[in-house]
Amino acid sequence: MATIRVHELRKEFVTDTSSVVAIENISFEVTGHEFVSVVGPSGCGKSTLLNILSGIEPVTSGQVEITEGERRARMGYVFQAARLLPWRTVLDNLMFVQPTGGPQARQRCERYLDMVQLKHTAKQYPGQLSGGMQQRVGIARAFSIEPDMLLMDEPFSHLDAITARSLRRELHAMWMETKKTVLFVTHDVSEAVELSTRIVMLAKGGRLVADIPVELPFPRDPSSDDVALARADLLRRFESLDLLAT
Ligand SMILES: Nc1ncnc2c1ncn2[C@@H]1O[C@H](COP(=O)(O)OP(=O)(O)OP(=O)(O)O)[C@@H](O)[C@H]1O
Ligand SMILES: [Mg+2]
């Protein structure tokens, strides 16, 4: 079972002329088959948090532990833009991140392309695909390394409403099937309510101001009354927090 443990994490970006506190002393834990959304206004440290968890960015102080049993957990990262390699085919973009080559890796890549309904594009290049299709390849690529957990940074925010909606359904189905731990960054409260078992709210200055379980059964219909009520309740709670204050 994958676990993320963040303890008194602080991150300050210091340059010659300025310093910015992106994360201010936050602690939380995520474990097992959870889907946790991190929401908050622009600049509140969401991407910085994911970058620290994935090891791209060092911490200023505090501890971050990402484990699967006794070992370090393997992570799949889905970026805001798909970030595919344009000179490689769709299948080769997935093969590129596999620890080993060979027919088994190839089968695994094809299986995840199939999961996002894009097996037929295996030999095409990213430039031949729409934005939504490229994003689905990015999701298949993250799943294809069979990670213990997935970190996703606003993966649907560039997409039109209809494509985003169908990708949310696909992601939810894949999360149910694979039982991964997901940490999902979004600034869209509706999306967070539809997908999450828990919502962590950050405010400006990188402070953690709320950690709220979402106890609605799945599947959740975004237009149903209970989802609308949960959304309204959350928005009320968020409005009462001083999210933009430093
Ligand atoms: N490499 C960097 N060097 C200096 N400052 C940085 C760096 N990366 C982020 N920051 C600053 O840290 C703060 C948090 O940035 P971050 O990208 O984590 O925000 P975010 O919540 O992901 O915002 P958005 O919703 O707009 O993507 C911002 O003030 C940003 O300017
Ligand atoms: Mg960001």
pLDDT given at position 242: 66
Q: Are 37 and 200 in contact (CB under 8 A)?
A: yes
Q: What was the pLDDT predicted at 246?
A: 58
Contact status, residue 5 vs residue 35, Cβ threshold 8 Å: no
pLDDT at 236: 87
The encoded tokens of residue 198 equal 């828990």
**Inter-residue contact 67 to 3 (CB < 8 Å):** yes
Judge whether 216 and 196 are in contact, CB under 8 Å: no
- Per-residue pLDDT of 93-125, as tens digits, reads 999 999 999 999 999 999 999 988 899 999 999
Ligand nearest to the CA of 60: 1
- Tokens linked to 157: 């925010």
158: Cβ below 6 Å to ligand 1? Answer: no
- Domains of the chain plus CATH, in order, are 1-74+194-246 (3.40.50.300)
Q: Strands 35-39, 75-78: parallel, antiparallel or unpaired by DSSP?
A: unpaired
| Cα 108 to ligand 1 centre (Å) | 35
Q: What residues have a C-beta under 5 A from ligand 2, the ion? A: 47
Q: Is 149's C-beta closer than 6 angstroms to any atom of ligand 1?
A: no
Rounded CA separation 58/70 (Å): 22
pLDDT by position in tens, the chain (length 246):
899 999 999 999 998 899 999 999 999 999 999 999 999 888 999 999 999 999 999 999 999 999 999 999 999 999 888 899 999 999 999 999 999 999 999 999 999 999 888 999 999 999 999 988 999 999 999 989 999 999 999 998 888 888 888 889 989 998 999 889 999 999 899 999 999 999 999 998 999 999 999 999 999 998 899 999 999 988 888 887 766 665
**What is the value of pTM for the model shown?**
0.92
User: What is residue 243's predicted lDDT score, i.e. its pLDDT?
Assistant: 65
> How many residues would you count in the chain?
246
pLDDT of residue 245: 64
Closest ligand 1 atom to residue 185 Cα is 22
Cβ distance 90 to 122 under 8 Å? yes
Whether the CB of 107 sits within 6 Å of ligand 1? no
Three-class DSSP category at 240: helix
Task: Evaluate: CB of 51 within 6 angstroms of ligand 1.
Answer: no
The three-class DSSP label of residue 104 is helix
Q: What is the DSSP string of 170-195?
A: HHHHHHHHH--EEEEE-S-HHHHHHH
